[in-house]
Structure 1
Amino acid sequence: MYFKNIKHTTYFMYAVVVCSIVSAILNRGNNNKQPLNIIDSVIFLLSPILIVFGTFIHLCFLSAPVFADRVLISFGAVMMFVTICFFSTIKNKYIASVFISFPLLFVFVYSFTFGAAQKYQKEYDNRISNDIALSVSRADPEGKLALFIAGRQPSSNQRINAVNRFSSLSSLIPLYYTNGWWGKHLIKMFGIKNRVIGTKSGTQACGMKKFEETQIYSLYIDSENILVDFDKPACK
């Protein structure tokens, strides 16, 4: 099983939920030992939908919920649970075990790949953030200049390998410094006093003085701002 986008994974999950409801109807219909209680039947048939709904309902109570792919990773557990329930309706347990081993193997491989890549990417992000914070602190000890971030940070080797195998992991393992507000919040965790504005056009680096350059980023400064540029533009 291979999904090029997280949306495909979501469609698969919904398909499994529908299959589980249909299998539940067939299974309960073949059970003639006792009459079917209408309330029990409704709860039983709606349980897959209620489980899916319960994985994200708590986010609706937050003032600023983030419905990103990585936040909704709990849907993976729902897929696994519903799949097990679906295959448990098969009478021949040997056949059921053979069929269920393939999706379970995919779940374990996918989860391990996600966890390992996320771990190493976090360590890589922390190293970049620590280096930037030290450089900014040396250039502006009093923290009076505004800090801007431009460009897109590189990915760790582990994340690159994981995304090459499972494309949907690209959105599940984010890159914080990509002209977004995530990097602004991350760098503040490393003790700098500067006011972090967020993004800035990389072309403005040509009008500033470069005071440090690494293999990953360049740092520019003027009388009011400090710019961290991952694109390192070629200024004339």
Structure 2
Amino acid sequence: MGRTFNAMVSALVGLTVAACTSSPPAAIRSPSSARTSVAASAPAPPTPSPPPSNFASAVPMTSYPRLPIPAGTPRCHTSQLEVSFRSDGAAAGRIAYTFEWRNQSKNPCWVYGFVGFQTIAPNGRALAQTIKWTTELSFGRSDPPSRILLPSDTAALGSGQGTGHAFFNVVTNDVLCDTSQNPVALLEIWPPDETAALRIAAQTAAGAPFIFCTDIELNPLQVQETPRLD
């Protein structure tokens, strides 16, 4: 389906659901260059043209500081975290989505690396998808994986005050298939190195759905909301 060029819109999904107990995709710890099929699917379609260069001028970029990690701070576990589906933006047949993590516990912790990510159909089954973990997204470049401190008592998700939060971006394609044939109802998201996922609705608070055609690009957790466009 075609989509016109839109700016990324910040919006909070008011749903953060308790962690579910299913296992993450087997390739959650794969290096950024790996591609792994979660389920059998048709051969990958050809890569479309990149987004137009003026995409950079339309994407707001808020700079958040990287907080130092005190010695002895433990890694974050699923039960400590909440995640929201923030926003979406599109150009040249590709859609970029932004997700935000927050530590909802009373103790600081850190996250590092790539999340696990699974699309779920309305009937509850996992949809066929191919994940590419990368720092070179179609919409920009992100930093390599690094430890990110998530302190306690930070601003609410979607407040626009992301200091102490972590973000990741997902890029999909919406023109190489009929996306109405594989609607996404839920998203299961695993924090790095965790075996329990958080399950959230597959749409932003503004009602924009998560849509894709098999291939999904995903960058490591970052302190910034969007990739660099240089």
Determine if the TM-score, normalized by the shorter chain, exceeds 0.5.
no
Q: TM-score, normalised by structure 1?
A: 0.22
The normalised TM-score by structure 2 is 0.22
Q: Which has the larger radius of gyration?
A: 1
* Larger RCO of the pair (alpha carbons < 8 Å, separation 6+): 2
Bigger fraction of residues in strand? 2
